[in-house]
């Protein structure tokens, strides 16, 4: 069990943003926007999968994620830690190790052969399960994973992520309607402020990113025409 004597949530957010920038998991490009899984453009992109290749950063962030959940929910609140396929799997394993709990993972869909399983590992009825993922945009994928967990008869009312976009309205409300509480370390605004303070990107790029963060749907619609 790790100590609960960690920085405040505000400082955790700042340090998480700093580490994401340091390992170049953050990408800003105002001239040639990225295309997201939704097909929509964005001047921002984040790759949390890179974190597994940086042991010191990885370890610190997993400590932060674990202590955030312990502070917010309780020290004896969970019986199982589940990762979402695929990016959530290594982070779920690391959090489970810190909490001294069993770990499982949830496929996006049944594997299609053998047992046709969607859940790997063991989740049993009435267990309280924490879903761990790398990030969330609007919470959509979390609903599917939680549904699969609940179909086993287990309970899943909390999901923890390293990074939460924090710019699309209604995300937390949508999760709340399904009795899911989101826990995260930092958002795009935390990353933006840290990048601006340390001059990680030029002024023009930061200006365009700010416009996107303030009105993401409007920004996307304008550039999708």
Per-position DSSP letters for 3-18, written without gaps between them: -S----HHHHHHHHHH
**Looking at the predicted structure, is the pLDDT value of residue 126 above 70?**
yes
* Whether 187 contacts 164, CB under 8 Å: yes
The band of 4, judged by pLDDT with boundaries at 50, 70 and 90, is low
CATH number at 9-219: 3.40.50.2020
The number of residues in the chain equals 225
| CB neighbours of residue 19 within 10 Å | 22
Of 3, 98, 110, 94, the C-alpha closest to 51 is 94
Question: pLDDT, tens digit, for every residue of 159-211?
Answer: 999 999 999 989 999 999 999 999 999 999 999 999 999 999 999 999 999 99
Give residue-wise pLDDT tens across range 139-171. Answer: 888 999 999 999 999 999 999 999 999 999 899
The beta-carbon contacts of 88-97 under 8 Å, at least 24 apart in sequence, are 88/131, 88/132, 88/133, 88/134, 90/52, 91/62, 91/65, 91/132, 91/133, 91/134, 91/162, 92/132, 94/58, 94/59, 94/62, 95/62, 95/65, 95/66, 95/69, 95/130, 95/132, 95/160
Determine the distance from the C-alpha atom of residue 210 to the mean position of all C-alpha atoms in its chain, rounded to a whole number: 21
**Both structure tokens of 148:** 């699969």
Q: Where are the domains of the chain?
A: 9-219
Res. 41: pLDDT tops 70: yes
**pLDDT for residue 3:** 62
């Amino acid at each position: 069990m790790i100590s609960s004597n960690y920085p405040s949530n505000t400082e955790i957010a700042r340090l998480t943003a700093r580490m994401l920038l340091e390992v170049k998991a953050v990408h800003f490009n105002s001239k040639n926007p990225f295309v997201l899984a939704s097909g929509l453009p964005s001047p921002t992109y984040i790759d949390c999968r890179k974190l597994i290749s940086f042991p010191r950063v990885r370890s610190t962030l997993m400590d932060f994620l674990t202590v955030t959940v312990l502070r917010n929910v309780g020290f004896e609140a969970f019986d199982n830690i589940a990762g979402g396929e695929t990016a959530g799997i290594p982070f779920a394993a690391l959090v489970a190790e810190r909490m001294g709990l069993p770990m499982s993972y949830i496929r996006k869909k049944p594997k299609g052969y053998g047992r046709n399983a969607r859940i790997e590992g063991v989740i049993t009825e009435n267990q309280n399960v924490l879903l761990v993922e790398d990030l969330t945009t609007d919470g959509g994928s979390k609903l599917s994973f939680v549904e699969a967990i609940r179909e086993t008869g287990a309970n899943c009312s909390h999901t923890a992520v390293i990074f939460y976009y924090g710019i699309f309205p209604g995300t937390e409300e949508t999760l709340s309607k399904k009795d899911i509480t989101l826990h995260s370390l930092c958002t795009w605004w935390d990353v933006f402020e840290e990048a601006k303070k340390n001059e990680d990107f030029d002024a023009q790029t930061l200006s365009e990113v700010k416009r996107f963060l303030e009105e993401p749907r409007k920004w996307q619609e304008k550039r999708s025409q």
